[in-house]
Amino acid sequence: MKLWKTLALAILGSTLATGAVAQGKKWETVRIATEGAYAPWNFSTPQGKLDGFEVELAQELCRRMNVKCEIVAQDWDGIIPALQAGKYDAIMAGMNITPKREEVIQFSRVYAAGPHGWGVMKDSPLAKLAGKDQVVHLVNDADTAKKIIEEWKPLLKGKTVGVQTSTTNSAFLEKYFKDVVQIREYKTTEQHDLDLAAGRLDAIFAAHSSIAATMEKPEFKDMTIAGAGLGGDILGAGVAVGLRKQDTDLKKMFDDAINAAIKDGTIEKLTSKWFKIKMIPQA
């Protein structure tokens, strides 16, 4: 009986403690989670340090918000539940705004956006997928997008495609290619890159920025982007900071800082530093 009481008190105490932090008027430290396995957005260096576009941007934003930044690495598939559980206060991990995610968390304004598409090996018949070097919006260019997707289907029929689990990319495949290809879900993009190079997969579906970064590595030099790049709708409205719904003050702080960083060209500078492909400008 006594044990139960102590336990209950301990649990109550910890909820109160996190509640107090969440309601605190003034933010002194902001803990930001990133995945650390999604180059060039965020990755771990061989020395084990976090680096990448978002790590640099996070420090830049914290400087503008006048808070102390703590950047932590968190596995992708638990990144939203852990935010809700109060393990950290914000997510900057190449996360696209989608209606499904907006049901559980809120987003700041978009700080980056780029197309998504197929990655294949150069000698694969899939390298000829239609629409190379084109970028098509799933809603604004709905007719073109539909035509291209229909053109892809016969070539992709029965192929095995890798995708990172619980991403806009996996949602896209589920919606458009569920009965066409065999989908294999991976924890990180690095894992499906390895399996594509090993020949276990015929293609991957990922952000162009991430495929382009992989192609830079010598062991993946035979990989290439195939077909048109897609964006919008189920693929998300762009990448933004993910926040708990009740932290509206923190959202305002991030929005202001991002706007300021767009205005003075900081984001553009960071984008061209980190991404090998053309990203969609945010101004």
Contact positions vs another protein (CB under 8 A): 77-78, 80-81, 84, 100, 104, 162, 165-166, 184-187, 191, 194-195, 197-200
Closer to another protein by Cβ: residue 134 or 165:
165
Nearest to 163 by CA among 220, 118, 218: 118
190 or 256: CB nearest another protein:
190
Q: How far is the CB of 281 from another protein (least distance, A)?
A: 30
CA 283 vs. chain centroid, Å, equals 20
| Nearest to another protein of 135, 196 (CB atom) | 196
> For the purposes of burial, counting CB atoms within 10 Å of the CB of 274, is it exposed (0-12), middle (13-18) or buried (19 or more)?
buried
Nearer CB in complex with another protein: 33/67: 33
- Shortest reach from residue 102's CB to another protein, in Å: 11
Q: Give φ, ψ of 182 to 5 degrees.
A: -95, 120
Instruction: Give residue for tokens 């084109």.
Output: 134
CB of 201 to another protein, least distance (A): 10
Q: How far apart are CA 110 and CA 131, in angstroms?
A: 26
DSSP label at residue 95: P
Could you identify the residue written with the tokens 């098509």? 136
- Measured distance CA(105)–CA(253) in Å, rounded: 16
CB of residue 81 to another protein, shortest distance in Å = 4
> Which of 78, 281 has the CB closer to another protein?
78
Report in angstroms how near the CB of residue 27 gets to another protein at its nearest.
Answer: 24
